[in-house]
Structure 1
């Protein structure tokens, strides 16, 4: 569906005397440095095909935008560029990172944004740009910057949420209580891998924008892209650090399990000793040899029971002091 479409002149949105879905007519109204920004959300092949005809979009890029599930990338065509970025948002209840996608077609006098998924709504970016005439005066490059800035801000939010969960895992692993953290550690590492698949491929397009090596992107927009690239680098470093922390937490969790198993074996051994020694006494006393003085002694049976109790209590005290029980 078409979310919004508008014509911008010298950084200001101007009214038009035609239907904003009449793209051919809308483009014919452009003069000078004017440009059109068309926003689409999960369009059908027919809807995006109409836009492609009006703005001369490359069919391969159109196919990628319709099918979605693309890797972040920047592709240059004869008179336009095609940028794909991944949107991320975090579902804390499930420790899950959900993904969406934004595809951007940019030419000298147009920008077409195609959004898939629930995240990365661009109405806030459009409102921000319309309130910043100086930024929007950079033309279509300003829209590309706004999209990248919105997406990377989402990455930072996801990284912050993951950091909280990783701290919770560390606290749980090193607590005195017995916990089962391996499943959650695996889940978080899987979600971090999802974030990495979105973050790392985007570094190269932003580097090219900062260097001013992308035709059609205004040189004046380089400082804005530099700021976005710096934020992306911070996210990448944060994600790497979180992944390393989870690996260390998993190793510590395994070591903790090994220590707990050793303690359990000591307790089992101590418990067995408490039973084995009285059994030994009972076994010897119950052999009933003829030439054993205590067999015909009236206090022989109480003596055996006393020895069992005394040795059991003595062993219990020794094991308790040594921490085996």
Structure 2
């Protein structure tokens, strides 16, 4: 999909592109390519002279080759953007999607394989807010700024999810069964994975902004905007650290409840084994069938032995109950 945006009175205007001819007369500020076809790449090469390789947004690219400047002045940046998964779709989890940016002749080219919420949000804001964007570098900075805001919104979602887990696990008189604990552990694991991806995402954004600031491509106003975005990202780091600590605490608490449930089961077997030991001993003695045992010739000997065995069972349970061991 090829999305071409021009500036009109400080607003982004999306242009309909059906063929190479409709692209020829445009002076775009941003060209967004989502899973571009070979035909669309040909239109870009014919209009702007930019050849986009097939592996431009590969995930396995060397880290040292993610930020560089060509001899002809092209600026290449490869950055990750967060994509929240669909909980209703099997196997869909939050993940980071690699986006390749190429800044050439004051036109920003972005190439990615999936539609990203950060890009949709920026397009919506740029159409409604005047003077938000002045050139291609503003588009890139606003994308990173929106990405930081999106990461902050995701962190708020993690706070809410962990609050629900805390309510179900840590409330007073809570009956934390193994099923409830399993659901809590699954929710905690999902939020831990998402928190880690957010931390990686903001770290990658920080590296991209630092590269832009070092390359001296920004004017004074854009440089200050980049510094403000970096300050916002720094404020997110403390939240991710706090969430990691909270996740570890909830994980330990949930595992502790599972251990308590297992201990209760083991305690039942232990109490039963201790309580049944005296009647087992009595039954063993009477099973020896010695010749000189008064109960053998006594009329009530057999009922007496049964009563003695029952009493030997009740007495330990009464004692354990009194001690609070049951």
Same fold, TM exceeding 0.5? Answer: yes
Name the SS of the counterpart of 1:136 in structure 2. Answer: coil
Contact 1:141 1:218 in 2 (8 A): no
Report what 2:30 is aligned to.
37
Contact 1:105 1:111 in 2 (8 A): yes
CA deviation after TM superposition for structure 1 residue 271, in Å: 0.8
Contact 1:82 1:106 in 2 (8 A): yes
Contact 1:156 1:235 in 2 (8 A): yes
1:144 and 2:143 correspond: no
Report what 2:282 is aligned to.
281
1:9–1:282 distance in 2 versus 1, CA, 3 Å? closer
1:12–1:290 distance in 2 versus 1, CA, 3 Å? closer
* Separation in structure 2 between the aligned mates of residue 2 and residue 24 of structure 1, nearest angstrom: 14
CA deviation after TM superposition for structure 1 residue 56, in Å: 4.4
Report what 2:311 is aligned to.
310
Name the SS of the counterpart of 2:117 in structure 1. Answer: coil
CA deviation after TM superposition for structure 1 residue 68, in Å: 6.3
Report what 1:263 is aligned to.
264
Name the SS of the counterpart of 2:94 in structure 1. Answer: strand
TM-score, structure 2 length as denominator?
Answer: 0.78
Report what 2:78 is aligned to.
84
1:54–1:2 distance in 2 versus 1, CA, 3 Å? same
TM-score, structure 1 length as denominator?
Answer: 0.78
* Separation in structure 2 between the aligned mates of residue 306 and residue 255 of structure 1, nearest angstrom: 42
> Unpaired runs of 5+ in structure 2?
none
1:198 and 2:193 correspond: no
* Separation in structure 2 between the aligned mates of residue 228 and residue 53 of structure 1, nearest angstrom: 36
Aligned counterparts, 1:8-157, within 5 A: 8=7, 11=10, 21-22=20-21, 23-27=23-27, 36-57=29-50, 62-65=53-56, 67=58, 73-77=66-70, 78-85=72-79, 86-93=81-88, 96-120=93-117, 122-137=119-134, 139-157=135-153
1:203–1:140 distance in 2 versus 1, CA, 3 Å? same
* Separation in structure 2 between the aligned mates of residue 177 and residue 14 of structure 1, nearest angstrom: 55
Report what 1:227 is aligned to.
228
Q: Alpha carbon RMSD of aligned pairs, Å?
A: 3.5
* Separation in structure 1 between the aligned mates of residue 284 and residue 113 of structure 2, nearest angstrom: 79
Count how many residue pairs are aligned between Structure 1 and Structure 2. 311
> Unpaired runs of 5+ in structure 1?
28-34
CA deviation after TM superposition for structure 1 residue 63, in Å: 4.4
* Separation in structure 1 between the aligned mates of residue 87 and residue 10 of structure 2, nearest angstrom: 39
